Structure 1
Amino acid sequence: MKLSTSEVASRLRSSNQFVRTLIQNNDLLATKVGKTWVIDSVDLSRWIKDNKFVIEPYDHPRSSFLVPDKVALSFFTGAGGLDIGMAKAGIVPILVNDIDKNARKTIASNYKNLGLVGDVTKLTTDDIYDYANLPRGTTIDYMFGGPPCQAFSTAGKRRGYNDSRGDVFIKYLELIGRLKPRYAVIENVRGLLSIPAIFNDKDDKGIKGGVLLYALKRLRSLGYTVSFNLYNAANFGAPEKRERVIIIAKLGKDKVDYLLPTNSEDGAFGLPKWRTFGEAVKGLRKKHYVDYPRKRFKYLKYVPEGGNWRSMPLEIQKEAMGKSWNLPGGKTGFFRRLSRDEPAPTLVTHPTMPATDLIHPTQDRPLSVEEYARIQGFPDNWNIQGTLLERYKQIGNAVPVPLAFAIGKRIIADDNGIEMKTIPDFPYSRYKNTDDVSWEKNALKQLNKSPYYNVNDIPTKL
């Protein structure tokens, strides 16, 4: 069968330009007929097989109709870091979700039989049951995900709330309300502790931490008890100093305890020290990475292991920093070279961004995608799809697998009535007052100082 470039693009779920580029580079065999390129379907199939090309999957139901003993659903699945860790603990999802085409390809490469759904803002309760292949009314035991979040407002022109990211966070809360899982997990960045929200027409700045205050009130109105904290992934065995807010909501009156750490920075509390970058990448052979721009590459040689721009000779610093020289703050992420003897800093979505450099400890290059994956705890055989930059992005956005494992272990222990005490006074992160009790106390104190609000002004539903 002969296919046009448009027909090939449709089959590959790609752009016409992508197909034309393949033809121009002689990667895909094609014949010119008049002014049109024609591709034989046999040649297309051969190219797909030879290049192990993964076609973005459409939404589809789970292949099995068997109802597992415990039903788990994953949302905002991405590269799957949260899912891998939860599965190691015994919480295996039967339905996964993402709207990003490369994440969906990654999902297709690693999850062969699970249901897949897309846009959370359009999902109904019936959609979830249909794609999960579950009878209506089946109890959902566990639901987890990291919805993007930013400031939102219900006042005036609904600034912020109209933004799809704010909407997605609210929609995820509403999904929890409709599905009523026995346990629900919300993972988010540290900024969730301070993201503002506006709840009336008198206020134009918003309540600091208002989004989280709303989430707490909404979840409690649905019958959940809620616990949360800001956790450094290094305290749970990840060779990375990444801090994330983890909220665990449980139906009923007894809230879930904080996560149980497995490591500490200096070996305190009788725990092993933090795992290091050197330990994580030991024995790694494949290394695919982006190149530094030439104008910045020449400065890397001046930065020793564990150093940054301040390690350069004084006469080089200003030249290397350029316009960034006048920026406020310590600027410690500029020309930052990792140390083999420490955990990596938080992985970002691109390793050569000037303010968040991630330079290899001993080689003049950025970290590779394989090193990214090791740091985040992905198995070496985990298949992450997309271009090099798209793979960096997916891994950089993921939840570290060891942190996810700690979440799953805590929930399973609670669900099975197993006592798993945490460590009193353990410093989960470098910040204070980040647990649900102290954070909410401070947030409400600030709320009561506002001329625009009292605690009753926070709605239970938007």
Structure 2
Amino acid sequence: MSVNKKNAWDKSVPVEKSAYLQDEGIDYFNIDKFSLPQGKLTMIDLFCGAGGFSIGCSWSGFYPVLGVDYLEPAMKTWVYNHPNSIGCLGDIKKLDANHVKQLLESKGVEKINLITGGVPCQGFSRANRKHIDHDERNYLFLEYMRFVETFLPDYIILENVSGLRSTAGGKFEQDIKTHMETLGYSVQVKLLNAADYGVPQIRQRLIFVGVRNNSGLTSPYKFPDCIFNTRESYRTVYDAISDLPELSNGEEKNTYTKSPITEFQKMMRGEGVLPVEAPEQLHNHVAPNHPQETIEKIGNTLPGNPMYPKFKQRIRLDLNQPSPTQLAGGIRPQFQFGHPTQPRGLSIRERARIQSFPDTYVFKGGIVQERVQTGNAVPPLLIHEVTKSIAADILRRDKENENVQSVV
């Protein structure tokens, strides 16, 4: 008897889950090492992944008191880079927001200024061949709203892929906005291209920003103007990675051989305008270990062109253009981009640079899971531009309140 085996990409076949997801139990990290720097604004980073929101907001003056995610390698990365913040690994649907509030209060955190959320985007992403409107991950924004309702922060930010806007005829975009407004926030929504704000990558993200009503804060929120207005002015792959050492197949290097060349490279190496420390060594710069056939495939592909006819998104990067959108690539991703001048895939450090993570930010979990993390992340530099005015607005309000109290 013949059995009709369904194609793995058939949308009726359940989505395969990563073995690294922690569905059962909640684990906390760094509780005993937690400390809150004086004068810092506070934030909670839900669906934190590797930490794009946390690092971008930290450049604006926020301190992440808590990060929550259910992907174990991503939490390892987040906890390593935030050793004095509390990490929480587990399914957010099983996490009691009131318990979290009590935990933070026991650590001296009396007020949360900002809650961010990079809600999982696979159900909305057009890059996902199994994109479906009723994907259960599409409703995780409701868990984000639970935490907003419990903490009622000054500002809330939620981001997702541009595909959320068109999914189910725009239903999810409107539902998210309506939920935020119901909780007492004035909401602005805009599709931003990270390249417009200095990230060397064409990456569009739909950003929701909510301002707490009747809180003395500036409303409505105004999104920042573009810094780079044309494709010709965008930062390029050259701007991002041309100072990093060359690698042969499977080779690792942990020392720099060149000084930073571009403004972007100086920022990533702690020599620019961002509050980034200079790295003591080079991290995560390891070339993939390719078979000879793959080396030849990359080497024979002209920059800017696909390496594989069936996979148009897997291109060899062009040194003089911004990178296309970097993807996570599923739960067991292969390399996505070929290096523009060397016959190999990108190192994790090169992928991190394209996302605007500073060189001090260390990724954990092995090259495959680190590809997932660097592909899923929101670019920190984009988030910094979005949150600079938010931090300034909260500080202005708090200063005015102090002045009023001093007069009284």
Whether TM-score is above 0.5 comes out as yes
2:199 to 238, 256, 266: 238
Q: How does 1:413-428 map to 2 (within 5 A)?
A: 413-416=392-395
CA distance in structure 1 between the partners assigned to 2:305 and 2:71 by the alignment: 36
- Alignment partners' CA distance in 2, 1:241 and 1:161: 28
Matched with 2:406 is: none
Q: Normalising by structure 2, what TM-score?
A: 0.70
Read off the aligned partner of 1:333 and give its amino acid letter: Q
- What displacement does 1:182 show? 1.2
Q: Is the 8 A contact 1:129 1:136 kept in 2?
A: no
Q: Which runs of 5+ in 1 are unaligned?
A: 1-14, 16-55, 152-158, 197-207, 268-272, 310-319, 325-330, 419-462
Give me the TM-score of the superposition, normalised by structure 1: 0.63
- Alpha-carbon shift at residue 146 of structure 1 (Å): 0.5
CA distance in 2, matches of 1:289, 1:348: 18
Cα deviation, residue 332, structure 1: 3.9
How far is the alpha carbon of 1:131 from its aligned partner? 3.2
State yes or no: 1:398 paired with 2:377: yes
Distance in structure 1 (CA, Å) of the matches to 2:209 and 2:227: 19
Considering only aligned residues, what root-mean-square deviation do their CA atoms show, in Å? Answer: 3.1
Quote the offset at 1:106 in angstroms.
Answer: 1.0
Q: What residue is the counterpart of 2:159 in the other structure?
A: 187
Q: Distance in 2 between matches of 1:266 and 1:260?
A: 16
Distance 1:404 1:120, change over 3 A: same
Q: 1:117 aligned to 2:92?
A: no
| Correspondence for 1:312 | none
Tell me how far 1:261 sits from its aligned partner.
2.1
2-structure distance, mates of 1:337, 1:367: 10
What is the CA deviation profile of residues 161-202 of structure 1, one whole-angstrom value per residue up to 9, with x for unaligned ones? 682x23422111222122211100001111110122xxxxxx
Partners of 1:57 and 1:108 within 8 A in 2: no
What are the equivalent positions in structure 2 for 1:5-20 lying under 5 Å apart? Answer: none
2:222 corresponds to 1:257: yes
Which ranges of 4 or more aligned residues in structure 1 deviate by more than 6 Å? 159-162, 351-354
| Equivalent residue, structure 1, for 2:313 | 333
Equivalent in 358, 364, 379 of residue 385 of structure 1: 364
Q: Report what 1:84 is aligned to.
A: 55
Classify 1:290/1:137 alpha carbon distance in 2 versus 1 (closer, same or farther; 3 Å).
closer
Match of 2:286 among 275, 288, 294: 288
Structure 1 residues 77-120: Cα deviation after superposition (integer angstroms, max 9, x where no partner) = 21112211110011221111122111121122111111222332
Equivalent residues in 2 for 1:24-43 (5 A)? none
Q: Is the aligned partner of 1:304 residue 2:276?
A: no
Is 1:98 aligned to 2:96, yes or no?
Answer: no
Q: 1:78 to 1:266 in 2, by over 3 A?
A: closer
Cα distance in structure 1, aligned partners of 2:166 and 2:292: 39
Equivalent residue of 2:64, what SS?
coil
8 A contact 1:239–1:343 mirrored in 2: yes
Q: Which amino acid aligns with 1:274?
A: Y
- Secondary structure (helix, strand or coil) at the match of 1:144 reads strand
Q: Deviations over 1:281-307 (max 9, x none)?
A: 132123313244555543333322223
Structure 2 CA distance for aligned equivalents of residues 246 and 360 of structure 1 = 30
Determine the structure 1 residue equivalent to 2:327. 348
* Displacement of 1:228: 1.4
In 2 relative to 1, CA 379–136 (structure 1 residues): closer, same or farther, beyond 3 Å? closer
Distance 1:246 1:375 in 2: 20
Q: Percent identity?
A: 28
Give the Å deviation of 1:226.
0.6
Unpaired segments ≥5 residues, structure 2 = 1-18, 20-25, 125-131, 246-252, 254-284, 398-408
How has the CA–CA distance of structure 1 residues 288 and 65 changed in structure 2, closer, same or farther, with 3 Å as cutoff? Answer: closer
Aligned partner letter, 2:182: S
Cα deviation, residue 59, structure 1: 4.4
Compared CA separation, residues 58 and 141, structure 1 to 2 (3 A): closer
**Quick one: which amino acid aligns to residue 187 of structure 2?**
V
Instruction: Indicate yes or no: 2:188 matched with 1:217.
Output: no
CA deviations on 1:322-366 (whole Å, 9 max, x unpaired) are xx3xxxxxx6425x2111111111112259979x94111111111
Residue 238 of structure 2 corresponds to residue 278 of structure 1: yes
CA contact (8 A) 1:238 1:377 kept: yes
* SS class of match (1:94): strand
Larger displacement relative to structure 2 (387-396 or 246-255) = 246-255
Q: Which amino acid aligns with 2:366?
A: T
Structure 2: distance between partners of 1:176 and 1:381 = 31
Q: Secondary structure at the match of 2:208?
A: strand
Q: Name the SS of the counterpart of 1:378 in structure 2.
A: coil
Query: 1:134: how far off?
Result: 4.9
Match of 1:448 in 2: none
Distance 1:221 1:296, change over 3 A: same
* CA shift for structure 1 position 211: 1.1
